[in-house]
Amino acid sequence: MLLDDFLREESEAVEEAARQAGLERYPLDRRLFARALLESVERYAPEARGKELRQFLLGLRLQDLALATACAHGIEPAWEEFYRTFRRFLVDAAGECDLADQVIAELYGTGSAGGQIGNFRGRSSLKGWLRAILHQAQVDRHRRESRLVELEAMPVEPGRQEHPEDFEARENASALAGALRLEVDQCGPEERLLLAWYYVQGLRLAQIARLRGVHESTVSRELDALRKRLRKRVENRLRSEGFSAARIEECFRRSIEAPLDFQEFLVPKQAANQESAARIPRSGVL
């Protein structure tokens, strides 16, 4: 959609959005702001029309969008406000000034990636988006440093002979992990996400509840039911593979007593590297 068409068709909504955004603070040209709105629509609601489009436009973080747009166009008062408002937040989140200032520099356009702040579309708050940008910067730095450490000090393990008991335990653990992987693969997206929030990302029940928009007790109940269901399915699968009840019990017991890191033998090294290398774009679609 062309900007003129957008302004003509949605003039009323754009006017209302501009009024709510407070463009006169910087001041920001109304046409520049309308272009930012149009880009947001094209990215997040390309099919929206009429009332739905109006709701989408007025549901954006309009003031943050106006600030980011003004910053992207080099309006000095906007940068001053941005710096005054968000630098402290970034420093606190990063735990250091260097990384926070590096992120700000990249947003401003002095870094290698150019001015990133123009990619903000007002879908989330500017603070949330900045935290995501900072997270990406942290991941990038961690990856760089890990790679350096890996090259400089590659662990050299002495060879050792595996004990028969170790072998049996490893067999059991492998069987359990394999069965679990198959069962998890059959779970729906919601169940997988719930398990991942809790067991992989380590979120609390209250945080998961906030994310899902339900009560904490609901999350707890669903998690309990899912755990029981998974265990039953894994038991059935192991039984179908010829495991005795005692051996199945031993599998679960060993996994509790000595949880092993299955990452090494469950995920191929190459695949793991690819996964960790996956980088979330700061904006746009991968």
Partner 1 sequence: MPEGKTDPPDRWLDGVLGPALRSTDRNPPGCDAERAAAYVEGQLAGRERKSFEAHLAGCAACRSLAATLARELLPPAREPASARRWEGWWSWRWAVPSMAAVAVIGSAVFYQWERIAPPAVQEPVLEAKAAKAPVAPVESGPEPAALPAPEVQKRDKEAAQLRDERSRRVAAVDLELDDARTRKLQTAADTYKKAGVRETEGVAQQAQPDSQNAVASRLRQSADGFSQNLQEQRQNENKQAGQAGPAAADSVRAIVSSRTAAPPATKVVLGGIAKEKAEVASEEAGKPAPRRDSASAPSPEQVYRLPGNAPLNHWVLQGSRLWAVSNGGRVFRSNDGGRSWERLESLTTADLVRIELESETSLVVTDRQGNRHRLAP
Size of the site for partner 1 (CB under 8 A): 72
Sign of CA dihedral 111, 117, 123, 128: positive
Instruction: Write down the least CB distance from residue 15 to partner 1, Å.
Output: 23
Which helix (H) or strand (E) is 160 found in, with range?
A: none
**If you compute the radius of gyration of the chain from its CA atoms, what whole number of angstroms results?**
26
**Would you call 73 helix, strand, or coil by DSSP?**
coil
**Considering the rule CB under 8 A, would residue 263 count as an interface residue with partner 1?**
yes
Helices 164-186 and 216-240, packing angle to 10 deg: 120
- Under the binding rule (CB under 8 A), the answer on residue 53 touching partner 1 is no
Determine the Cα–Cα distance for residues 249 and 251; give it in Å rounded to an integer: 5
Structure tokens at 70: 């003004």
- Give the nearest distance from C-beta 118 to partner 1 in angstroms: 12
Contact (CB, 8 A) for 36 and 21: no
Q: Is 205 in the site for partner 1 (CB under 8 A)?
A: yes
> Least Å distance between CB 227 and partner 1?
5
Comparing C-alpha atoms, which of 136, 72, 126 is closest to residue 102? 136
Considering beta carbons, is residue 10 or 64 the nearer one to partner 1? 64
Least separation, in Å, of the C-beta of 83 and partner 1? Answer: 20
CA 109, CA 74: separation in Å to the nearest integer?
10
Site for partner 1 in 78-117 (CB under 8 A): 93
In the block, tokens 């940008």 appear at 133
Q: Toward partner 1, which CB reaches closer, 77 or 124?
A: 124
Task: Looking at residues 175 to 204 of the shown chain, list those that interact with partner 1 (rule: CB under 8 A).
Answer: 176-177, 180-181, 184-185, 189-190, 192-193, 195-204
Rule CB under 8 A: is residue 233 a binding residue for partner 1? no
For partner 1, give the closer residue by CB, 77 or 109.
Answer: 109
User: With respect to partner 1, which residue has the nearer C-beta, 19 or 204?
Assistant: 204
Q: Which is nearer to partner 1, 28 or 134 (CB)?
A: 134
| Shortest Cβ 189–partner 1 spacing (Å) | 4
Check residue 220 for interaction with partner 1 (CB under 8 A): yes
The answer to whether 181 and 192 have CB atoms below 8 angstroms apart is no
Binding mask 114-153 for partner 1 (x = CB under 8 A): -----xxx-xxx-xxx-xxx-xx-----------------
DSSP 3-state assignment of 285? Answer: coil
List the one residue out of 198, 162, 176 whose CA is nearest residue 265.
176
**C-beta of 25 vs 282, nearer to partner 1:** 282
